[in-house]
């Protein structure tokens, strides 16, 4: 009888086996989703392009050739060239490295900050929860892009400021999501058992609550990658994001808007790149949402 109770207590305190099984089932469901696989392929393709940009780009992203300004797509310049004769394909390839890197960094910072705020607010509750969540509500009362635009204009258009501002504007959404998830986890049987046996708050949070809260965080952050890359392109398009001469998709669209009738390829191909990446992240996020059903972490 004692051994049976002891085994049951261990299962409550260490739900790792069940969690691994649930993730395996989710992966099998994901592999059966064709749209999710398409999204994964698109994302992996652009990630591959970004990693190997210096190798696969036919020209340097800053190489100027005024003799080939506004050259149409040809064997020498597959996507044509811009007003300075720079190869559009090479700039899109190097822009993938810059934009995807900034997007991943932004979402990573937002997840870390939101995870900290949401977990502390939900786990400890009380006055601390009230203060943190009311502050988050105030931030949510204003449009995120308007806040980002104002802050970047105030701080100055640098890469560090753009990443910092975009991460701050994404923080409230992550904090509220994580707070709700932790609130549903903190009263589970294995958490109560760990607390009864004297486990510290840090161990309970890191060992038991956060691993079982990963599913909604992964889904939301994947979907949010598309929103962030759109916001990054929007800031660059308005002149307060990435600054020239860096190869950035939004900046390329800005430079092309006055020459749409002369050289439409300078806008079409960067626009297609942005659209494909956003579609890829959305398909991937939808597939992860379907695979990582919230009921699986019950």
pLDDT digits (tens, 9 = 90+) for 67-106: 889 999 999 999 999 989 999 999 999 999 999 999 999 9
89 Cβ contact partners less than 8 Å away, ≥ 6 residues apart: 57, 58, 77, 78, 79, 269
Range of the domain at 208: 88-276
Q: 129 pLDDT exceeds 80?
A: yes
The tally of domains found in the chain comes to 1
Residue 30 lies in a domain: no
Instruction: Give the pLDDT band of residue 2 (cuts 50, 70, 90).
Output: very low
Helices 34-51/88-124 angle, 10° precision: 120
Grouping H, G, I as helix, E, B as strand and the rest as coil, residue 137 is helix
**38 close to 221: Cβ distance less than 8 angstroms:** no
Q: Flag whether 262 is in a domain.
A: yes
Domain presence at residue 118: yes
pLDDT of residue 270: 94
Q: What pLDDT shows up at residue 213?
A: 82
pLDDT of residue 18: 58
Q: Is 64 contained in some domain?
A: no
Percent of the chain with pLDDT over 90: 50
Would you state the pLDDT for residue 20? Answer: 66
For the ranges 10-14, 16-20, 154-158, 249-253, which has the lowest average pLDDT? Answer: 10-14
Report the alpha-carbon angle 205-206-209, nearest 5.
Answer: 50
pTM of the model: 0.85
Contacts of 189 (CB under 8 A, 6+ apart): 12
In a domain, residue 12? The reply is no
Tens of pLDDT, residues 170-191: 999 999 999 988 888 887 887 8
Tell me, yes or no, whether 78 lies in a domain.
no
CATH number of the structural domain spanning residue 206: 1.10.3720.10
The answer to whether residue 159 is domain-embedded is: yes
Query: In this predicted model, what pLDDT tens digit does every residue of 3-51 receive, in sequence order?
Result: 334 444 444 445 555 556 666 777 888 888 899 999 999 999 999 999 9
Distance CA 104, CA 99 (A): 9
Three-state DSSP class for residue 45:
helix
Token pair for 231: 């916001």
Residue 13 lies in a domain: no
Cα–Cα distance between 106 and 225 in angstroms, integer?
A: 9
């Amino acid at each position: 009888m004692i051994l049976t109770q002891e085994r049951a207590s261990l299962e409550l305190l260490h739900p790792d086996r069940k969690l691994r099984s649930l993730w395996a089932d989710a992966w099998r469901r994901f592999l059966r989703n064709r749209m999710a696989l398409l999204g994964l392929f698109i994302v992996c393709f652009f990630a591959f392009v970004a990693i190997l940009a210096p190798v696969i780009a036919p020209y340097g992203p800053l190489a100027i050739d005024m003799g080939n300004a506004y050259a149409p797509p040809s064997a020498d310049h597959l996507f044509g060239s811009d007003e300075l004769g720079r190869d559009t394909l090479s700039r899109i390839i190097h822009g993938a490295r810059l934009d995807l890197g900034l997007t991943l960094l932004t979402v990573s910072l937002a997840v870390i900050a939101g995870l900290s705020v949401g977990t502390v607010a939900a786990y400890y509750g009380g006055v601390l929860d009230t203060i943190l969540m009311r502050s988050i509500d105030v931030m949510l009362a204003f449009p995120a892009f308007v806040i980002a635009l104002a802050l970047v204009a105030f701080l100055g258009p640098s890469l560090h400021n753009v990443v910092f501002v975009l991460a701050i504007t994404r923080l409230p959404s992550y904090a509220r999501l994580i707070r709700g998830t932790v609130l549903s986890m903190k009263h589970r049987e294995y958490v109560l058992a760990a607390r009864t046996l004297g486990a510290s708050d840090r161990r309970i949070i890191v060992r038991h609550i956060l691993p079982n809260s990963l599913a909604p965080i992964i889904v939301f952050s994947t979907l949010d990658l598309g929103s962030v890359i759109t916001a990054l392109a929007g800031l660059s398009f308005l002149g307060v994001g990435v600054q020239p001469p860096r190869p950035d998709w939004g900046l390329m669209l800005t430079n092309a808007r006055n020459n749409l009738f002369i050289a439409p390829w300078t806008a079409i191909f960067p626009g297609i790149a942005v659209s494909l990446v956003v579609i890829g992240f959305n398909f991937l996020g939808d597939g992860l949402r379907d695979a990582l059903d919230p009921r699986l972490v019950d």
